[in-house]
Amino acid sequence: MLAQATPDPAALRRVIDTVFAAPVYRWAEEPGPLRVLREWWRSLGEWLAGVRAGNPVLFRGLIILLLAALLLLLGHAVWIIWNTVRAGAGPDDQARPAERPEVRDAAWYYREADRAAAEGRVGEALPLAFVGLALTLDAQGLLRYHPSKTPAECAREATLAGADRERLGGLVRSLYAWVFGGRPCTADDYRRWRDAGADVWNAPAH
């Protein structure tokens, strides 16, 4: 009788490992959604393999459609990103001309005063016109004007010739009488007051 050959333990273990590695012997529980997804993916692969073997033309058409859909998705994503970046960047501030603040000089105050008087708001027009007059004297070096100064202070501090000093004092007294004293002031009164302030102002002779 022939002696029975003793199987190689290493070879036997490899055979056993191969057998139990098959999907049917995977006893560990797999989550339901993952298992369904895995089975769907395997079925899709088998279906594509069958289409490729049975109908190569149809298989190539499917591949072309999938590539076209992928290119469309990539193009749409690039378009969205580009629009988002462009909207976030905003307009170039340096390219836009800087807006110059409105200069409130004597001419500005005179314009606002005349506008208020034309609209019947003489009580508002007179203080505006006096600021225009004070700024005019300041520009000529005859007064150091500051918004905190009252009209009476401006009249005292102005360096004017005698007649012009009296004229400025009279304008201030009329302003106080109309604005604070309650004396009525008509549009003609305002125009005469403006004309008197618009005359030339002279510094005292040295």
Q: How many helices (H) and strands (E) does the chain have?
A: 8, 0
Of the candidates 129, 126, 134, 132, the one whose C-alpha atom is nearest the C-alpha of residue 156 is 134
Residue that the structure tokens 């109908």 belong to: 55
| C-alpha span between 196 and 192 (Å, rounded) | 6
Q: Show the tokens assigned to 54.
A: 């049975």
Q: Which of 28-32, 57-61, 128-132, 185-189 has the lowest mean pLDDT?
A: 28-32
Compute the average pLDDT of residues 8-19: 70
Residue 142 · residue 195 · CB < 8 Å: no
Query: Which amino acid is located at 12 in the chain?
Result: L
pLDDT 10s digits, 146-198: 999 999 999 999 999 989 999 999 999 999 999 888 899 898 999 999 999 98
Which residues neighbour 164 within 8 Å (Cβ) at sequence distance 6 or greater? 201, 202
Compute the average pLDDT of residues 44-48: 81
- Give the residue, 39 or 158, on which the prediction is more confident: 158
Residue 52 · residue 59 · CB < 8 Å: yes
**Residue 126: count of CB within 10 angstroms of its CB:** 24
Stated pTM of the model: 0.52
* Backbone Cα Rg of the chain: 49
| C-alpha span between 127 and 133 (Å, rounded) | 10
pLDDT 10s digits, 58-74: 878 888 888 888 888 88
CA-based diameter of the chain, in Å? Answer: 155
Q: What secondary structure does DSSP assign to 16-58, as a single string?
A: HHHHHTSGGG--S---HHHHHHHHHHHHHHHHHHHHHHH-HHH
| C-alpha span between 28 and 49 (Å, rounded) | 29
Compute the average pLDDT of residues 99-126: 88
Which residues neighbour 134 within 8 Å (Cβ) at sequence distance 6 or greater? 143, 145, 149, 151, 154
Task: Check pLDDT > 80 for residue 14.
Answer: no
| C-alpha span between 190 and 178 (Å, rounded) | 10
